[in-house]
Structure 1
Amino acid sequence: MPIRVDLLALEPNVPGQARLTVKKWQGSEEQLEFSIQRNQDGFYLQDHKAWSNNPFWFKVSRFNLTANGEALETQVGPSVIDPLLEGSANSQFQIELREQSLGHTDKGVVRPGVGLLPSTAGGQTRSTYGGAELTAPSEPAPEVPEIPDLPELTLSTIEPEVELESVLTEPAYTPPPAPVKKSNKGLIGLLIVVLLLAAGAGFWFYKRPPAPAVAATAAVPAGADAQACTLDSMNSLPELTFVQTCIKAAPDSAKLLEIINQAKAGKHCGVAQRLYANRAQAGDALIANAYAREYDPKYLKASECFPAADNATAAYWYETILTQDPNNAEAKQRFEELQK
């Protein structure tokens, strides 16, 4: 039976970092390695975010049990996260996990989870592993340079000689002239004038009608939420910006399916993929079922965005439904048939 692999955001979320969780693995927990292959050209992910036609194995010294004891997990960094997030709309990724001794091996589909961020979202983010070994390195203690011995300082008790000639030739000190006392009457008069002017300005300010306040949302057009998921916005905004604003608007499942169908018709395949995956992974069974059918050979209607069936991906989303609703008869039936 294929393993189920999820790439989940950390809590709190860290750009370029994620938890790789594996369910249904029957092998050892130690000395494992995995490879990732994309479907569009059959290339394998290499170290340093490159792709090649030769398999590359990311080594993991040990997987840890999750808190609920139902899966194994390890932390991965930008070398894995960034290439998967940069994949095209139709990219699917197959992962093969095996023991380094070439013993037990199994395969499954791996998909980036909700909220994952590339390392570029947080500036310079250091990977948690060096090379292809997915283990956290220990930071070496900084070396403190030795301070060279300084020569001893000798304090001299000899007073410096003072040249009497220069002292005697300095000009005699002349005190400054005493200040001339002025009458305070002019100052008091000026203060009274300033107070009268301030009182008049205050009376004018509080009597005049208040200026109309500038609304903080003046730059945001009315009905912005209603426009977040429209076809016009889809055609005018960058893909990721549209997806983020549409998700924030939180349309119901039926409305979201309409938007996804519009994206498919307009060949906005990345939008359709992202909206499907985001809501399906968030636990929306209706969206997850529709997404599974895009790959299920029983229901597939080939389109530019979903040109061919993919049993493993369809099974992945049916299984996602079953994690939320174990009694979903249709999802269970299709999942079992796709495993054959």
Structure 2
Amino acid sequence: MLAKILPCQPAEPGFAQLMIRLRGEDTLLSNLNFTLCNNEQNYLQHDGRWSPAPHLFTLNGGYLFNNGSGFRIGPALLDPLLASASQVQIQAQLASGETRSTTLQLVRDELFSSGARGQTANYGSSSVADSPLPATESEPFPVTAAEPAPPEPIRAPTTARPKRNSSLFPIIAAVLLVVLIAAGALWWFMGRDSATPSAAEKPEAPAASAAAKPDANVCSPANLASQSELDFVQNCVQQKLDSDKLLLIIQAAKDAKQCGVAQRLYAHSAQGGDTRVALAYAAEYDPQDHKPSECFKTPDPDTAAYWYDTVLQTDPENQKAKQRLEELRK
């Protein structure tokens, strides 16, 4: 499936056309039910907010457009999509009951939010621009004469203390030294053994801790079945896995037919600048490298080209992406 938002002809701020093209099908879609989910795993709501709770949008009045089905959308959808820099996944529910999802593409350079309309149409009104208040001169601080310091009180003369007789100091010091030496000798011969704890009194070494239980929130294939799709993807995103580990998780999700998990992890990392993951995601749709699976049943050259172009935005000299993008656009 290819999903793309294109400008109206002529362009109209706040309005655009959503084009949906189903690979291998020419059927015109008269209506479309879908959800929109960003990289933070939040869903667009009817009031323009993003929330973890999924919200189903419905569009009616489909028409033929660019070899697919077109739907006119307004500010409620277009404005929050343009305001967000995050990549958005669209998941469409077809009348047959089948669910398809892909990355929603926006031609941002040609789209305008409703705020671009301006306020110049009503010539009968007037507006007053907020002007800064005139600068006021700061009032000088009042200068007060310093109060003279109070005179220091006259201290009464102190009488000299009588000098102590220092002749007893050597005798007292000698007695104390003898006492200290005797106490040290007594401790050495009698108290040394009692000061050292016996082997029986020594504290026992802490028992070895039990083997750590695996964390239920760890991003691993073992937790695919025990967590919801949203929780699992959020845990993986928060743990910032490297490319090798993430590709293993994605492969495990594909094997478990957890297609939403695989596609969201692909899109989040590819859009975040991971060229290895972006190349792998493009290969899922590239007719040259496509391997049929439950999650990627048929090739999609347009989607493959989109992800090769995403690679080149991060790595302009990537030869694989340059070569395949050139061939797909022929």
Q: How does the TM-score come out when normalised to structure 1?
A: 0.46
- Computing the radius of gyration over CA atoms, which structure comes out larger, 1 or 2? 2
Q: How does the TM-score come out when normalised to structure 2?
A: 0.47
